[in-house]
Amino acid sequence: MAADILGYGIDAVPVGKDQVQHLEMTRDIARSFNKTYNCELFIEPKAIVTE
């Protein structure tokens, strides 16, 4: 899931309430990479919670 989101540079992802933690993990990966390599390559996607 993280590779699909980060690879396409998506900035908002529709997710169910039970999937928000997966998107948080994706945000952590993007933040960690950007900080480690001192760049802004990956966008930290925002969750659009659907029901």
Query: What pLDDT digit, counting tens, does each position of 1-51 carry?
Result: 899 999 999 999 999 999 999 999 999 999 999 999 999 999 999 999 988
> Is-contact 6 42, C-beta < 8 A?
yes
pTM of the model: 0.89
So what's the pLDDT on residue 51? Answer: 80
Extents of the domains making up the chain: 2-50
